[in-house]
Structure 1
Amino acid sequence: MSRYALIYLGVLVCLAYGYAIGRHEVFPHAWIETVRSEIRYLRNDLSDGVERFLVPYTPSDASGFAPAAPGRYAFGSTPAIRTGDGAVAGYRALMGSFDFNPPGHAIVLLDAGNAVRHVWRLQEEVADGGPEVRPDANKFPHGMEILPDGSVVFAYDGGASLQRFDVCGTRMWRLPGRFHHSVTLDADRRHVWTLLDAEGSEPDPSIDVASRRFLVRVALDDGEIERRISLRQIMDANPGIDILGLHQTDLEERYEWRGDAFHENDIDPLPRELADAFPRFEAGDLLLSMRSLDLVFVLDPDDLAVKWWRIGQVRRQHDPDWQPDGSITIYDNDMHRGPLRIVRIEPENYRASVLYEGRRHGAQTWFRGRHQRLPNGNLLITVPQQGRVLEVAPDGALVFELLNRYRPQPGRNLLVSEARWLPLDYFDFEEFPSCES
């Protein structure tokens, strides 16, 4: 065989193996991804801190988008929006990173005309006895509750606190700790439930990992923890239902946990107004999601009994929600396999159906994700890894689309962790204060 033929064959082998690395994630895919990630983080730390929050997405049809009117707020570029017939009138609140100058984390409220009505700028400060506070460039807002008085309770991925800000962004209280993913109003409307990792302390390998992960009930008035439930307590209270121990490796004299053994990412108390639609559950029961286990389950927070569970109906899911018709809907990321789906399950008989297929609109996000079923049956869907928000009618028609644009880089949007629809009479006041002071 000639030297040129050997070179040609070698090139073909390299190309084929390169394809296999990308397509099937074989060695050294993990190393390559680590290097790419470190380069991206280095670029982030040497720039304005926005690199980690940029995601690639270009719509196949860019016609009809218009920038949201910024109101009195200084944006480099506001989100771009296009609407069609059938979008539900109301406010739309967006949590994520936005193209201010410089870019920053916020909750942005759009009015019914898609203009910016109000902005809560989000930030953290060092708290005595709490975890180290990272720069904004190294954490991302994830988990919010907006209250009728205009205040907000929020957490971060990689943050060091749970906080409540009033309508003008003044801190009302701060609770140190590594709270994450989800903040949801309790059935009594005087507390929120959220998730806590290790109470803000550094992980100790000698402590059981299930004993370091908590469901936490926090008083809205003063930010005090009034209930704390560890995953270990749940496991011990349900010895005949081994749904949380699937990533525990049992050795002869001890056991070990696989990394990220649970990845709890949502906690949703059953509202009183929906309780009649769920005869086997009670108001305040907790609907929980464990991403690493493909698990959704319902927990009685009083006696810690697991009342219902489902594994494997969805893959690496987020955001299970109670619905007025007695069903549970779930944001199915279908990680590394395909576009997202919104799946509906009837807890009485486990019957499942698909309400939305992301394939229709190219909607895909391998992690994070939120959805909300609106009063007319529309679905409001957050697609974080594309920086998009969609509103889809029951027949699949796209009636609202938002791109969280970043001015300097067309084709790359800023992450949005959550979009939420609110009725126009939601707030206790008709006009937002100017907050100029």
Structure 2
Amino acid sequence: MKNFEELPRRLFWLCLIVTVLFGAVLYGVQAQRKYWPPVPQLQAAYNVLFIDRTLTSSDEQKHLQPSRGQGEGVTVNTKPDSTDTILMLGFFDHENQARLVDRNGDVIRKWSLNYMEHFPDEQTRPCPWMRPLLTDVHGVVLTARGELIFNYEYCGTVKLDQCGKTIWTINEMTHHSLIEAEAGGYLLLSRDKWKAIEGKERFPPFSTPATKEFISEDFILRVNDQGETLERISIPEIIFDSGLSALLTASNQEFKSSTVGRGEIVHANKIAELPTALAEKFPLFNPGDWAISMRGLNLIMVVDSETKTVKWHQTGPWIRQHDPEFTPDGRISVFNNNAYLTSYDAREKTRLDAPRNTNILMIDPVSRETEIAFGGKPGQDMLSIVRGQHELLSDGGMLITEFDAGRVLEVNDRGDVVWEYVNRFDDDFVGEITNSKLFTSGFFQTEWEECAS
């Protein structure tokens, strides 16, 4: 009888324990998907104890790559008396930072970039659980007035004055690319995440399973000088509406009804605009057309900015490329990473024995003939497994950002290195550099004012 009387109480506790365990498992699954606590904390602890095996902050380790023994600071400088300046965006002084330097590497101005300060409201910021160094910076513009606009990768865009005061922010998952539009304002990339069940007919076969798994959809944003969105265009929609959905599925990947086969439809990493001054060199295109790069598909396409239709596209010969640019001679230049993630080790650090095959590739859109403009020759070795950028200079040279090497190099029209900067962190590591840009004397229409510390 006594055992019978105890039965309800025991059943209650059993049900409570089962409920708590089920709730914990359910929360764990969701936390893993959405990066809720304690996933970031557990991941950081795991990295410190078992992956990095160092007392260096694991948040900092995210921004470091093995040194290739290429020196420190300015290592090549054939123009020491030049008044040019170079902007670099990346990991400096143990923080995300933008810095403007002279030819000797001396800092003229720097901006400390702290995500929590620029997006203080956890409820409205695009990455609510972020710590300052769990995000990084990618895509930057420096105006003639000394104002800095940049992206936190997938976590928002910020405009600062020359002393670092916030002018405006864009609370979207902006990422990778940010350029000034010829008509004014800016062009950049953004991303939405939505559950397949919310739009199963939107992008079949990606969303066909209609599960609660997430789909990532990249967009082009056109914003004005105040950071207000004027236009928002879906990149997958451009491809589908142009009758080119086969480009997205030509991967030998099985698409099933049971699960989302690939949540990231495209991985867009650059938008470039055809300037009016160069348009006559491109018989297939019009002023204002967009070149868009999609890394995982080895795909570059040119889109009519008015009709939002694809005019031209090509897959390869570039591999996991970045940064297409329209060149003055009527070609498109491409930062060809020419490497796979197998060039990283298990810690996502560059293998020092990996082939250094990154190059700058040129393609004629009409004939589709290609030529390597830099890379693959003695003295031109590069390896940037992800990211990377090149700027075409008025003298026919280029300013190249080799992300994984923490290196910026300027080369002349003969391919000779005339300036080089290495972002040495310590004896073993370099800090990654995401973007760089060269400014000639007379560009800035402002005096660099004293800023309160």
TM-score of the superposition, structure 1-length normalised?
A: 0.78
Provide the secondary structure at the position in 1 that maps to 2:378: helix
How far off is 1:80 after superposition?
3.8
Could you tell me whether the CA contact under 8 Å between 2:271 and 2:293 is conserved in 1? yes
Partner of residue 357 from structure 1, selected from 375, 392, 396 = 375
Alpha-carbon distance in structure 1 between the residues aligned to 2:256 and 2:401: 45
CA distance in 1, matches of 2:448, 2:256: 63
Alignment partner of 1:233: what SS? helix
Task: Report sequence identity in percent.
Answer: 25
Bigger shift: residues 122-131 or 277-286:
122-131
Mapping of residues 43-122 of structure 1, within 5 Å: 47=57, 49-59=59-69, 62=71, 79-84=73-78, 90-99=84-93, 103-122=94-113
Deviation of 1:245 (Å): 3.5
Deviations along 1:95-134, one digit per CA (max 9) or x if unpaired, are 00102xxx11111111244321111222222344343151
- Displacement after TM superposition at 1:266 (Å): 0.5
1:369 aligns to what?
A: 388
Letter in 2 for 1:425: G
Instruction: Work out the CA distance in 2 between the residues paired with 1:86 and 1:398.
Output: 14
Cα 1:270–1:41 shift into 2, 3 Å: farther
Match runs of 1:338-349 below 5 Å: 338-349=356-367
- Equivalent of 1:192, from 186, 194, 217? 186
Q: Give the aligned residue type for 2:170.
A: L
- Give the match's secondary structure for 1:274: helix
- In the TM superposition, residue 283 of structure 1 has moved relative to its aligned partner by 1.9
State the alpha-carbon separation in 1 of the partners of residues 271 and 185 from structure 2. 13
Alignment of 1:10-409 (within 5 A): 39-40=50-51, 47=57, 49-59=59-69, 62=71, 79-84=73-78, 90-99=84-93, 103-124=94-115, 125-127=119-121, 128-131=123-126, 132=128, 134-157=130-153, 159-188=154-183, 190-198=184-192, 203-206=194-197, 207=199, 208=203, 212-239=216-243, 242-247=246-251, 249=253, 251=255, 256-258=260-262, 260-336=264-340, 338-358=356-376, 360-361=378-379, 362-406=381-425, 409=426
Which has the higher mean CA deviation after the structures are superposed, 344-353 or 226-235? 226-235
Equivalent residues, number: 375
Query: What residue number does 1:436 align with?
Result: 452
Q: Show CA shifts across 1:54-74 (max 9, x none).
A: 1112336x5xx6xxxxxxxxx
Which deviates the most, 46-55 or 374-383? Answer: 46-55
Query: What's the offset of the Cα at 1:343?
Result: 0.3
Pairwise CA distance, 1:432: 0.8
Conserved 8 A contact 1:266-1:320: yes
In the TM superposition, what is the alpha-carbon distance from 1:286 to its structure 2 partner? 0.9
Unaligned runs of 5+ in 1: 1-34, 66-78
Which moved further from structure 2: 281-290 or 356-365? 356-365
Matches of 1:111 and 1:51, distance apart in 2: 28
1:205 deviates by: 3.8
Cα displacement (A) at 1:257: 3.7
Gaps of 5+ in 2: 1-45, 208-214, 341-354
Change in Cα spacing, 1:225 to 1:355, as seen in structure 2 (3 Å) is same
Normalised by the length of structure 2, the TM-score is 0.75
**CA–CA separation in structure 2 for the residues paired with 1:348 and 1:342:** 19
Q: Displacement of 1:193 after TM fit?
A: 1.3
Please report how far the alpha carbon of residue 170 of structure 1 lies from its aligned counterpart in structure 2 after TM superposition.
0.9
Q: Amino acid of the residue matched to residue 114 of structure 1?
A: G
> Does the 8 A contact of 1:247 with 1:257 survive in 2?
no
- What is the identity, as a one-letter code, of the residue corresponding to 1:182? S
* Root-mean-square deviation over aligned CA pairs: 2.8
Equivalent AA in structure 1 for residue 433 of structure 2: V
Residue 52 (structure 1) shift: 1.4
The residue aligned with 1:3 is none
- Structure 2 SS opposite 1:427: coil
8 Å contact kept, 1:86–1:393: no
Secondary structure of the residue that 2:247 maps to in structure 1? coil
Are 2:190 and 2:221, in contact at CA under 8 Å, matched by a contact in 1? no
- Partner-residue secondary structure (3-state), 1:243: helix
**Which protein is bigger by CA-based radius of gyration?**
2
Counterpart contact for 2:295–2:321, Cα < 8 Å: yes
